Amino acid sequence: MAQIQFGDEVENVITRDEWPLTKAREALKDETIAVLGYGVQGPGQALNLRDNGFNVIVGQRKGSKTWDKALADGWVEGETLFEIEEAAKRGTIIQYLLSDAGQIALWDTVKKHLTPGKCLYFSHGFGITFKEDTGIVPPEGIDVVLVAPKGSGTSLRRLFLAGKGLNSSYAIFQDGTGRAKERVISLGIGVGSGYLFETDFRKEVYSDLTGERGILMGAIAGVFEAQFNCLRKRGHSPSEAFNETVEELTQSLMPLVAENGMDWMYANTSTTAQRGALDWRHKFREAVAPLFEELYDSVASGNEARIVIESCSAPDYRDRLEKELADLAGEEIWRAGKAVRALRPESSD
């Protein structure tokens, strides 16, 4: 294993050098990987596995938009594309990549095909961690593992096609065969991970739900909106407000952070920007720290999971979600963003 040193703490990680693709393919040469779900993570993971030479089939509800997407991606009905239950029956490794609500709804259908020796794979610890609410309790005699790419399936696929990788966490919840580790590491390499770091199902879902509601999505959207609205209220044009709030961050500064870290990004900006950022970061940190503590407590208590389950199981949820997303898209900041993106030379908007 490779090691990353964080002060006195040492973290073990698994890289492609230690577990090359040839080793992963050899470990899974007799397996049929059934990817159930073709929404967020399913396409990227399934296509990467297929392109890496693994035996992959896809299970999806026939007649759905995602079934049609799978056909468009080259999966063949009756050969590599099946209804969900048929794919679960055929697979020796079942990648359970339906939405959290979908996993709950189809658990009884999938569970009966989890015969001894099979492997149940997740990319999110939700169903297992909150089993009292989800009812997802795997049978004995099977492996239960997790590989969670730290990004969307779209990003996983794009990086794969660019010859890069998206880092992933991995975990073993149940080793029913003695092969759980070689299976999960091989799958992690197969789906296109840059490197793999170990966690457990509970930590994965706690960090994931906190991150999604926090800096990755909820917090960043809220901060974007607050600054944009402040600039607009003070008389700045939509274009100026959007460029100073979103465009410069996403197109210029974040790539610098990704390349070499926040300190390197600071070092490559003006002295005026450096001084202001170094002073104000403390104020922003102290302002939001209580929110993150509140958020983590809500996740750890199971409250966020219960909200998700209750909301997503409502019969009108899809309609309400579409309205919420339409309202978000209709806000001035994102209407300005659409106009700005249309002016990019490479834009296809």
pLDDT at 12: 83
By DSSP bridging, strand 33-36 and strand 9-15 are unpaired
Q: What is the CATH number of the domain that holds 69?
A: 3.40.50.720
Same domain, 231 and 264: yes
Cβ neighbours of 296 (radius 10 Å):
17
Nearest-Å Rg of the Cα atoms of the chain is 22
Residue 346 scores a pLDDT above 70: no
Q: How many domains would you assign to the chain? A: 2
The reply to whether 282 belongs to the active site is no
Let me know if residue 205 belongs to a domain: no
What are the tens digits of pLDDT across the range 64-115? Answer: 999 999 999 999 999 999 999 999 999 999 999 999 989 999 999 999 999 9
**CA 237, CA 52: separation in Å to the nearest integer?**
48
**Domain for residue 151, yes or no?**
yes
Domain interval for residue 87: 2-199
Co-location of 182 and 306 in the same domain: no
Whether 140 and 222 share a structural domain: no
Q: Summarize pLDDT for 149-165 with one digit per residue, the tens.
A: 998 899 999 999 999 99
Residue 208 lies in a domain: no
Query: Could you give the residue ranges of the DSSP H alpha helices within 191-316?
Result: 201-213, 218-233, 238-242, 248, 254-260, 262-267, 271-300, 303-312
- For residues 170 and 198, the answer to whether their CB atoms sit within 8 Å is yes
